[in-house]
Every structure is written in structure tokens, then in C-alpha cells.
């Protein structure tokens, strides 16, 4: 298994190009199941999770072909041959469950492996299933699989989510696009990736109102057609490299980053002492003075994202004063804490909150990545640490960060991948 070695202490300087959003690309690829025609997606990031979704679509009989030289535009389409999403693919990536709504809407049957637990918590899919049942689907759970079918078309329904779920909103939005009648999704998630999905569905012929709000109104149509859609820049990659600039005491231009998608992230970084300015086609991020501790609580968009929690904690570990970081979305998302503490951080976890007491410097150490965002938080810590840090199990990182070591090295970081 590959490892990444970093020798810390160099301020970053230069430019990093922000890629297309992973969490927008995955549901957009699943939307390719909704039509016979070709869906062209551009600005697709080159990531392991995209390969997993490609394998899943291919398993359903759908062709996924590169439509440009660098593989960032994908052409998706074809007839659905198999309605089964097997355990071997779903266990690698929870977002595989996003094929459920589209398969059911288009061919009226789906057999999708239950995703099961993952390192950051149990993460059930009950909201996805209840919503589809409200739309007329019959769902049985057996042998670790969701067996779903519907007589005729799915039917429009009013679905009030008891709490906010990104994936359930996406699955039901795609299902509703082809349902018979009107669907209202109330207390829907408002993440920019959902707006991106809805915009693409509209380009495919869907009728959706309320895009960008927590109430989506969808008037189902009988068929959708092909479209060409360009994926929004990744706001989590943006926030991560903003933390990299800040923790290293440097200044980096984040090309293509969009301030309006960043919600609370940039406000919190500014409160912590990071200078962020909007420029043409990107954001300039600098650390001018010292960092200070700021309390944060993860929340659905536009609140502070759970996917930025680990990176922000790494930053707070070298800030002046204390910061309380509270995780409200996932129950087990502090696995980076013992690893950061091995590098000299002073972090104590009390239930859903962690108290981070800033230290003047971290020291390099061998550490273990446990999930996607945890792994990148260790890289950030390594950039600031004295001496050498080796991050093991970097396959987590490759799921969500394209060429992280090249992007950081181009800004002066001493970082390299050690192949297994
Ligand atoms: C998506 C993102 C992930 C991010 C998360 C929260 C993708 C591919 N992944 O994940 O990176 O961390 O949003 O912003 O976009 N829940 C239930 N029942 C359900 C669905 C969810 O109890 O049916 C719970 C989950 O366990 C979790 C919370 O709701 O505690 C939020 O999960 P959700 O918003 O659905 O996250 P994902 O769509 O899985």
C-alpha cells in the first residue's frame, strides 16, 4: 500500500487548481441511468470513487466513455441490462446507493446491496427507502440486499425528511424526475452538489422548482433526454487547500474556487486569522499573522461541513488558544484525533466535542489514515510539523483527492508518494 512522506516546515506558495466536486460527480453519474440518451459530464475529477461509480454503471450495462483526451469529460449512456448493484462494489463506496432511485424510476426494479457500516459511523439508508415507499415502491430487505420494485411508474408524493440527508435528497430527487405527478421534498438538503444535480436534471428535461432551497418541487415527466453538464468546483478540496496554505504559513491561489459555495467554511477560516480574498477565477488564501482558536460545530449546508472537520482540527492544533470542535452529523468521526496527538497535538474528546489546545509546533511521526478526510488532515499536520511524517494507508486519500502530493509539491511542499 502506498504511503506519503512529508518533511514539514515549508510555507506553501503558488497556485493550486481546484477540480470538479467528487460529491457532485457521483450523483450526476447515477443520473445517467435516467435516460436512453447520452449524458456528457465535464470537469469530472480523476479519483478512485469515480472509477468505482464507473464500474457500477458498467455493471448495469451502461457505457461510460472518456469524451476528451484527459478523461475529464465522460459520456454516459445505454440500455440498462442489469438492475443489480452487487456487494463487492457497494461496500467500497456508500454513494453506490444513489443508483437505487434512478433504477427504480427508469426500469421499475432494483436490487442494491445494503451499504452497511463504515469507519465514520453506521450511516443507515432508511430515509431513502421510506421516501421511495411513499412513492409506491415495494421494498424488501433480505440477504443484505434492498429488493425494490414498483407496479407502473413511481408516483409523486409529499416527503418530509425528519432530518437532513444529502444522499436521500439526491436519490428521491432523481426518482421524482420520472415519477407520475408532483413530488415535494421538504426539509431537503441544500448542499451546492444538490443544486448542481438539479440543474443537470433540468437540462435533461426535468421540471424542478426551489433549486437551492430546502423545499424542492418536482413535476415528473415521462422521459428525460441527454444533456451536457459541467461539474461545479469541489468546495471541500478548496477548504482543504485553504487550510494547507494557512497551516504552513504560506499563500496560495486556489484557481476555480467559488466563494459562494463555501458557506461557513471561509467565515470560520477568516475568524481564525486566515486572509481570504476573492479574485478573478479563484480565491487567494494567506496567513498574514498568527492563528487563533475558534469554536465550530458541523451542520448541514450552509453550516460548517463535517467533511472539513478533520482538516480544521489539524489547523486548530497549532492555533493560539483553544477551540471546541463539535461533530453533529456522524457519531464516530474523531479517528484522526489519536493520530494528531501522536504528532504532538493536544486534543481531548468528550462525547461529540473535541477540545483542541493549540501547541506552538507539531512533530513528524508515522501515522495511519482511517478515512478520506482524516487522511488529508494528517497531511496538513505533516506540512506544519517539524521533521518527517509518513502517512500510511493513503488509498483513502485517493478516493477524494486528485494528485494531492503533486499539487502540494508544486507549491513548495517537500512531499512524495512512496509506492508499496
Ligand atoms: C454525503 C457526502 C459526505 C458527507 C455527508 C454529510 C456524498 C457522496 N457524500 O454523504 O461526504 O459527509 O453527505 O454532509 O455526497 N442518515 C440516516 N438515514 C438515512 C440517511 C442518512 O440516518 O437514510 C444519517 C447518516 O447516518 C448521517 C446523517 O444522516 O448521520 C447525514 O447523512 P447524509 O447527509 O445522508 O450523508 P451521505 O449522503 O451519506
User: Strand 207-209's sheet: what is its strand order?
Assistant: 158-160, 182-186, 215-219, 207-209
Q: Is the pLDDT of residue 230 over 60?
A: yes
Q: Give the span between the Cα atoms of 267 and 277, in whole angstroms.
A: 11
CA-307 nearest atom, ligand 1:
12
Q: Give the span between the Cα atoms of 313 and 354, in whole angstroms.
A: 9
Predicted local distance difference test score (pLDDT) of residue 247: 98
Nearest CA to 229 out of 41, 14, 62 is that of: 41
Q: Is the pLDDT of residue 346 over 60?
A: yes
Predicted local distance difference test score (pLDDT) of residue 174: 98
Q: Whose CA is nearest to atom 17 of ligand 1?
A: 124
Task: State the angle between helix axes of 309-316 and 372-384 in degrees (0 to 180), rounded to the nearest 10.
Answer: 20
DSSP 8-state code for residue 172: H
Active site residue 118: yes
Residue range 56-94, pLDDT digits in tens? 999 999 999 999 988 899 999 999 999 999 999 999 999
Determine whether the shortest distance from the Cβ of 95 to ligand 1 is under 6 A: yes
Entry pTM? 0.97
Q: Which percentage of the chain shows pLDDT scores above 70? A: 98
Asked whether the bond before 199 is cis by omega within 30 degrees of 0, the reply is: no
CA of 309 from ligand 1 middle (Å) equals 15
Q: Is the pLDDT of residue 117 over 60?
A: no
Determine whether the shortest distance from the Cβ of 167 to ligand 1 is under 6 A: yes
User: Strand 251-255's sheet: what is its strand order?
Assistant: 13-17, 251-255, 282-287, 274-279
Q: Is the pLDDT of residue 123 over 90?
A: no
The sign of the CA dihedral 255, 258, 264, 266 is positive
Predicted local distance difference test score (pLDDT) of residue 338: 96
Kindly state the average pLDDT of the residues 304-319: 98
Predicted local distance difference test score (pLDDT) of residue 371: 87
CA-164 nearest atom, ligand 1:
34
Neighbours of 163 (CB within 10 A): 10
CA of 300 from ligand 1 middle (Å) equals 10
Return phi, psi of residue 324, to 5°.
-105, 120
Of the pLDDT bands very low, low, confident and very high (cuts 50, 70, 90), residue 115 is: confident
Predicted local distance difference test score (pLDDT) of residue 289: 87
CA of 368 from ligand 1 middle (Å) equals 24
Q: Whose CA is nearest to atom 15 of ligand 1?
A: 23
CA of 178 from ligand 1 middle (Å) equals 24
Predicted local distance difference test score (pLDDT) of residue 356: 98
CA of 30 from ligand 1 middle (Å) equals 17
Average pLDDT, the chain: 96
Determine whether the shortest distance from the Cβ of 161 to ligand 1 is under 6 A: no
Neighbours of 47 (CB within 10 A): 23
Nearest CA to 234 out of 116, 118, 372, 367 is that of: 372
Determine whether the shortest distance from the Cβ of 185 to ligand 1 is under 6 A: no
Q: Whose CA is nearest to atom 4 of ligand 1?
A: 307
Q: Whose CA is nearest to atom 8 of ligand 1?
A: 23
DSSP string, 255-296: ET--GGG-THHHHHHHHTTEEEEEETTEEEEEE-S--B---E
CA of 307 from ligand 1 middle (Å) equals 11
Of the pLDDT bands very low, low, confident and very high (cuts 50, 70, 90), residue 194 is: very high
Kindly state the average pLDDT of the residues 268-275: 97
Q: Is the pLDDT of residue 122 over 80?
A: no
Please choose from 167, 168, 302 the residue to mutate so as to test ligand 1's pocket, defined by most ligand atoms within 8 A of CB: 167
Predicted local distance difference test score (pLDDT) of residue 381: 98
Q: Whose CA is nearest to atom 37 of ligand 1?
A: 167
The segment with the largest mean pLDDT, out of 107-116, 366-375, 407-416, is 407-416
Q: Is the pLDDT of residue 121 over 90?
A: no
Dihedral angle computed from the Cα positions of residues 189, 169, 397 and 13, in that order, rounded to the nearest 10 degrees: -40
Residue range 393-411, pLDDT digits in tens? 888 899 999 999 999 999 9
Kindly state the average pLDDT of the residues 28-53: 97
CA of 395 from ligand 1 middle (Å) equals 21
Predicted local distance difference test score (pLDDT) of residue 288: 84
Residue range 197-209, pLDDT digits in tens? 999 999 999 999 9
Determine whether the shortest distance from the Cβ of 129 to ligand 1 is under 6 A: no
Predicted local distance difference test score (pLDDT) of residue 9: 95
Find the catalytic residue in 118, 200, 243, 411.
118
H or E element: which one contains 353? Answer: strand 353-357
Instruction: List, in order, residues 6 or more apart from 329 with CB less than 8 Å away.
Output: 298, 299, 300, 306
Q: Is the pLDDT of residue 167 over 90?
A: yes
Q: Is the pLDDT of residue 7 over 70?
A: yes
Q: Give the span between the Cα atoms of 383 and 371, in whole angstroms.
A: 19
Q: Is the pLDDT of residue 179 over 80?
A: yes
CA-166 nearest atom, ligand 1:
34
Determine whether the shortest distance from the Cβ of 146 to ligand 1 is under 6 A: no
Amino acid at each position: 500500500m502506498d504511503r506519503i512522506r512529508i518533511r514539514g516546515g515549508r510555507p506553501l506558495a503558488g497556485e493550486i487548481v481546484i477540480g470538479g466536486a467528487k460529491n457532485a460527480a457521483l450523483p450526476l453519474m447515477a443520473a445517467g441511468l435516467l435516460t436512453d440518451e447520452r449524458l456528457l459530464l465535464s470537469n469530472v475529477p480523476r479519483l478512485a470513487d469515480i472509477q468505482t461509480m464507473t464500474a457500477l454503471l458498467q455493471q448495469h450495462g451502461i457505457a461510460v466513455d472518456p469524451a476528451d483526451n484527459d478523461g475529464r469529460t465522460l459520456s454516459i449512456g445505454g440500455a440498462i441490462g442489469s438492475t443489480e448493484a452487487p456487494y463487492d462494489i457497494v461496500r467500497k463506496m456508500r454513494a453506490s446507493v444513489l443508483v437505487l432511485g434512478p433504477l427504480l424510476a427508469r426500469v421499475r426494479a432494483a436490487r442494491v446491496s445494503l451499504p452497511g457500516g463504515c469507519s465514520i459511523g453506521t450511516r443507515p439508508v432508511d430515509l431513502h427507502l421510506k421516501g421511495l415507499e411513499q412513492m409506491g415502491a415495494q421494498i424488501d430487505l433480505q440477504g443484505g440486499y434492498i429488493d425494490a420494485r414498483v407496479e407502473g411508474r413511481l408516483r409523486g408524493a409529499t416527503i418530509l425528511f425528519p432530518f437532513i440527508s444529502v444522499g436521500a435528497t439526491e436519490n428521491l430527487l432523481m426518482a421524482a424526475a420520472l415519477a407520475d405527478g408532483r413530488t415535494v421534498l421538504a426539509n431537503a438538503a441544500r448542499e451546492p452538489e444538490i443544486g448542481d444535480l438539479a440543474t443537470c436534471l433540468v437540462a435533461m428535461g426535468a421540471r424542478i422548482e426551489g433549486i437551492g432551497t430546502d423545499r424542492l418541487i418536482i413535476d415528473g415527466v415521462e422521459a428525460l433526454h441527454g444533456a451536457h453538464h459541467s461539474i461545479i468546483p469541489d468546495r471541500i478540496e478548496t477548504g482543504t487547500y485553504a487550510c494547507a496554505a494557512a497551516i504552513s504559513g504560506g499563500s496560495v491561489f486556489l484557481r476555480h474556487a467559488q466563494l459562494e459555495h463555501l458557506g461557513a467554511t471561509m467565515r470560520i477560516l477568516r475568524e481564525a486569522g486566515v486572509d481570504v480574498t476573492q479574485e478573478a477565477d479563484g480565491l487567494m488564501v494567506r496567513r498574514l499573522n498568527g492563528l487563533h482558536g475558534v469554536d465550530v460545530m458541523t451542520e448541514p449546508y450552509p453550516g460548517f461541513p463535517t467533511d472539513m472537520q478533520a482538516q480544521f482540527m489539524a489547523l486548530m492544533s497549532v492555533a493560539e488558544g483553544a477551540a471546541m470542535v463539535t461533530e453533529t452529523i456522524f457519531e464516530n468521526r474523531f479517528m484522526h484525533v489519536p493520530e494528531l496527538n501522536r504528532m504532538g497535538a493536544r486534543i481531548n474528546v468528550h462525547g461529540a466535542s473535541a477540545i483542541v489546545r493549540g501547541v506552538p509546533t507539531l512533530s513528524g511521526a508515522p501515522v495511519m489514515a482511517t478515512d478520506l478526510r482524516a487522511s488529508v488532515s494528517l497531511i496538513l499536520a505533516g506540512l506544519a510539523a517539524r521533521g518527517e511524517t509518513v502517512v500510511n494507508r493513503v488509498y483513502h486519500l485517493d478516493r477524494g483527492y486528485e494528485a494531492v502530493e503533486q499539487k502540494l509539491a508544486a507549491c513548495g511542499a517537500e512531499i512524495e508518494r512512496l509506492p508499496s
